[in-house]
Amino acid sequence: MVTRHGKICSFCGEPGSKDLQLIGGLGAQVCVTCIDDFHAIVHDEEKRAEAKGTFPWETMSDAEVLATLPQIMASAEQNTAFAHEWVDLLRERNISWAEIGRTLGVSRQAAWERFARKGGDKSESA
């Protein structure tokens, strides 16, 4: 089932909760705090000027850059898990492995090998 439960913000790494709503698409999630921060950067001339041409990692210490790596990996894994959830959704809608493979530009077999759940969807031929 496609759900936001257990997801993290793809921008700050905070887990979504009742108090920190996530909004997203294509696997990426963004929390309302990040939306507010990005909104301020886009709509506040002074903040936009501050942010223009700079990247957050330019002012981060080595320890901060290192500490960010697990968050990047968690976000990447979340996106991969979302692709699996999406394929599950397609399968629930009886979309064939052949059509999923065709959409991804791979064979039916390759799509099945990549996305079929172990012990779950074994209907390789459908």
Q: Does 38 bind Zn ion (CB under 5 A)?
A: no
Q: Does 31 bind Zn ion (CB under 5 A)?
A: yes
100 among annotated binding-site residues: no
Among 9, 87, 111, 116, binds Zn ion (CB under 5 A): 9
Measure Cα distances from 59 to 15, 40, 65, 98 in Å.
25, 20, 10, 48
Among 12, 23, 90, 95, binds Zn ion (CB under 5 A): 12
Instruction: Give CA angle at 115 (8, 87), nearest 5°.
Output: 65
Q: Does 111 bind Zn ion (CB under 5 A)?
A: no
Q: Given the complex with Zn ion, which of 33 and 96 has the nearer CB atom?
A: 33
34 among annotated binding-site residues: yes
Q: Which of 113, 118, 112 is nearest to 90 (CA)?
A: 112
Among 34, 100, 111, 116, binds Zn ion (CB under 5 A): 34
Helix-helix angle 108-115:62-92, to 10 degrees = 120
What is the SS3 assignment for 126?
coil
86, 2 Cβ separation under 8 angstroms: yes
Q: Given the complex with Zn ion, which of 9 and 116 has the nearer CB atom?
A: 9
Q: Given the complex with Zn ion, which of 75 and 97 has the nearer CB atom?
A: 75
32, 21 Cβ separation under 8 angstroms: yes
- Pick out the residues of the known binding site for Zn(2+): 9, 12, 31, 34
Residues that bind Zn ion (CB under 5 A): 9, 11-12, 31, 34
